[in-house]
Amino acid sequence: MKKILILLITLLTVAVQAQKRPEWLKKAVFYQIYPSSFQDIDGNGIGDIKGTLSRLDYIQSIGVNTVWFNPLFKSAFQDGGYDVIDYYLVDPRFGTNTDLVEFIKDAHKRGMRVILDLVAGHSSDQSEWFKQSKEADNNLHYSDYYIWAQVKPNDLPPQEASKWVEANAPRAKYYVKNFYNSQPALNYGYANPNPNHPWEQSIDASGPQAVRRELQNIILFWMEKGVDGFRVDMAASLIKNDPDKSATIALWKKLTAWFDKKFPEGVLIAEWFNPTQAIEGGFDIDFYLSGSLFSSRGRGTQTPSRVYFDKAGTGDFATWYKTYIGHYESTAGKGYVSVPTGNHDNPRIATATRNDGPQLKVAMTFLLTLPGAPFIYYGDEIGLKFIPNLPSIEGSNVRSGERTPMQWDNTQNAGFSTAPIEKIYIQQDPDPNRPTVANQDKDPSSLLNFVRALLAFRAKSEALGNDGEFKMIGDINEPYPLIYMRTKGNEKYIIGLNPSDKPVEAEITTLNSVRVKYSFGTNEKCSYKPGKTVDKIKIPSVSAAIFKVQ
């Protein structure tokens, strides 16, 4: 009897451990908000928390249930908030800590959740930590929060050498940065430190240990204020000289285990871009960008003939897919690979000639029928356009075009702000017919209403949901139409997509189904005809369909 009891307890413990992802993640749909560009309420031309709060009804109406804010902390804004001065304080431009707590409370009342952006790898060079670390006395509390060296060896690999910044500080001549010079890397230590390199401290040295505790404090501070988790900026960057990332994965394993134990309902999302590694490190989600399917990272300048989502219909799908599927397969059942509709670092899906409702609906059908939690970048649901050649704002560099303020209605500054136009954070789309929430809200055929309907359709289906299985059915080298299946138990859907401006058809090995019927999409003329040996799928130009298999 006693033995059976012990066995039962052990089995139960194992089951609980394996089930560590919060249940709500299964239905989570994220909405990413770049706070400077969403809604300005105090009329200074920059978005704020109270403004965003005033738009929660709208956010919820889309069918999303979790808000991710890009950094809200006190910042020098030399990299749009990713250069944090004080991790424990909301930047006054956005409001106060109390405003954020109010926002979280309101979201929670609606059954929504809120996650923040945790810039774990570097602070601003204007933070008190860095200021103290620069001092000649290297025994101060923050002295070893950063990586300092007196001499720069000339045999550093180019990638590493480019990260050394000449500071001529009393402490030492050089520090190591993460991204811009104004973003000194926090010191989490080096994998296999070289004894001849005194700046390479071990992971267990007191500086790296103190930085790790600080990170945990920041997490505790905001979790206790009610946030539901974090997206961790440059999560792969923490430990230096770690080419296979094994030390960084090991560090995250410890941190995520600590977090999961303390906050079983909390989530940690990596910005790692290698889901296999991130999920091994214990993250719940990592991103895999749709990059080459929509444009290169070259700001929408890639020749359309190679872009998959283009009317030319001559694009490449296979290259993107091969890496995607590797990550999907190695993480299935353990965590999510999320392909966001866009983000603050990449051109939007509405770029250049891919800018009309039908094309964007096909793109959305793809992005919102993939497994893993969907992430909608604010404005993508109305087809907010990438605006090329805008000046750099607060370190946006070439990224201004995807950070333009939200377009709400036809009033001044599209309802984003009452400030004079020259005070607006980033210039908005100058087109008099620019998309707005107000116009699309009342148009049943708008992209916004399509996205709402698609998310509602997805929410009702386990197969199309975050945990439904994904399988490519069509030929990835002949990807027009693109055909894949989503399955959960006996529930099955086939998705067929055709971004090209020609009607296309494909034959696939028969699924031997009694019936396959069009259930949702952009064009009811899409058809699926089951046959004895092959099934025939027809998709008219620029169309997408979701077929139910019965």
Q: Which residues bind ligand NOJ (CB under 6 A)?
A: 79, 82, 119, 179, 233-234, 271, 344-345
Which lies closer to ligand NOJ via its Cβ, residue 79 or residue 310? 79
**Distances in Å between the alpha carbon of 232 and those of 49, 71, 125, 499?**
20, 10, 19, 33
Tell how strand 285-287 and strand 267-270 pair up: parallel
Structure tokens at 497: 């997509």
In sequence order, which residues have a C-beta less than 8 Å from that of residue 384 and are 6 or more positions away? 348, 350, 378, 404, 406, 407, 429, 435
Nearest residue to ligand NOJ on Cβ basis? 82
To ligand NOJ, the closest distance from the beta carbon of 81 in angstroms equals: 8
In sequence order, which residues have a C-beta less than 8 Å from that of residue 223 and are 6 or more positions away? 262, 263, 266
Which lies closer to ligand NOJ via its Cβ, residue 176 or residue 516? 176
Alpha-carbon span 67 to 514, nearest angstrom: 41
To ligand NOJ, the closest distance from the beta carbon of 79 in angstroms equals: 5
Which lies closer to ligand NOJ via its Cβ, residue 398 or residue 476? 398
To ligand NOJ, the closest distance from the beta carbon of 467 in angstroms equals: 27
Which lies closer to ligand NOJ via its Cβ, residue 160 or residue 431? 160
To ligand NOJ, the closest distance from the beta carbon of 439 in angstroms equals: 30
Alpha-carbon span 118 to 268, nearest angstrom: 10
Integer distance in angstroms from the first to the last C-alpha of the chain? 47
To ligand NOJ, the closest distance from the beta carbon of 150 in angstroms equals: 27
Which residue from 177, 157, 158 is spatially nearest to 166, judged by alpha carbons? 177
Helix H or strand E encompassing 549: strand 543-549
To ligand NOJ, the closest distance from the beta carbon of 165 in angstroms equals: 15
Which lies closer to ligand NOJ via its Cβ, residue 401 or residue 499? 401
Helix H or strand E encompassing 68: strand 66-69
Q: Please, how many CA atoms are within 13 Å of residue 422, restricted to the half-sphere of its CB?
A: 0
To ligand NOJ, the closest distance from the beta carbon of 130 in angstroms equals: 15
Which residue from 139, 214, 143, 205 is spatially nearest to 175, judged by alpha carbons? 143
To ligand NOJ, the closest distance from the beta carbon of 178 in angstroms equals: 7
To ligand NOJ, the closest distance from the beta carbon of 270 in angstroms equals: 11
Which lies closer to ligand NOJ via its Cβ, residue 175 or residue 450? 175
Which lies closer to ligand NOJ via its Cβ, residue 28 or residue 120? 120
Which lies closer to ligand NOJ via its Cβ, residue 159 or residue 477? 159
Which lies closer to ligand NOJ via its Cβ, residue 343 or residue 365? 343
What's 146's DSSP letter? B
Alpha-carbon span 81 to 76, nearest angstrom: 7
Tally of CB atoms within 10 A around 396: 19
Q: Is 247 in contact with 201 (CB distance < 8 Å)?
A: no
Tell me how far the alpha carbon of residue 23 is from its chain's centroid: 20
Alpha-carbon span 171 to 236, nearest angstrom: 27
Helix H or strand E encompassing 449: helix 447-459
Which lies closer to ligand NOJ via its Cβ, residue 122 or residue 354? 122
Which lies closer to ligand NOJ via its Cβ, residue 77 or residue 308? 77
To ligand NOJ, the closest distance from the beta carbon of 36 in angstroms equals: 12
Q: Is 32 in contact with 340 (CB distance < 8 Å)?
A: yes
Q: Please, how many CA atoms are within 13 Å of residue 509, restricted to the half-sphere of its CB?
A: 4
450: left (phi over 0), alpha (psi -120 to 50) or beta: alpha
To ligand NOJ, the closest distance from the beta carbon of 188 in angstroms equals: 15
